[in-house]
């Protein structure tokens, strides 16, 4: 869906407390989360403005977001063990 919010808290609502804790206590997690949020905002803006952008470019941005989300999720899971 165009313009959909993919914030980490929305994507993983069962991990909201862990996300908050890691964001406060793990600088690497916090930096990756910041990059993820900025990229998600950029993608949403491009989609909502119907900006002239190639499918290849938007797909590359979405793949970058997915890579960051995967890394953040792995950190979430590993922190619970």
Q: How far is Cα 46 from Cα 10, in angstroms, rounded to an integer?
A: 20
Torsion-angle region of 3 (φ positive above 0: left; ψ -120 to 50: alpha; else: beta): left
Residues 57-74 pLDDT 10s: 999 999 999 999 999 999
pLDDT at residue 52 in the model = 82
Average confidence (pLDDT) over 17-24:
97
Q: Is the Cβ–Cβ distance between 22 and 29 less than 8 Å? A: yes
- The model's pTM is 0.88
Residue with tokens 């979405």: 62
């Amino acid at each position: 869906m165009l313009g959909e919010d993919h914030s980490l808290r929305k994507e993983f609502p069962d991990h909201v407390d862990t996300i908050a804790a890691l964001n406060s206590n793990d600088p690497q997690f916090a930096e990756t989360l910041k990059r993820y949020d900025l990229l998600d905002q950029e993608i949403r803006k491009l989609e909502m403005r119907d900006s002239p952008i190639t499918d290849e470019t938007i797909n590359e941005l979405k793949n970058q977001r997915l890579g960051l989300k995967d890394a953040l999720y792995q950190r979430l899971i590993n922190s619970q063990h």
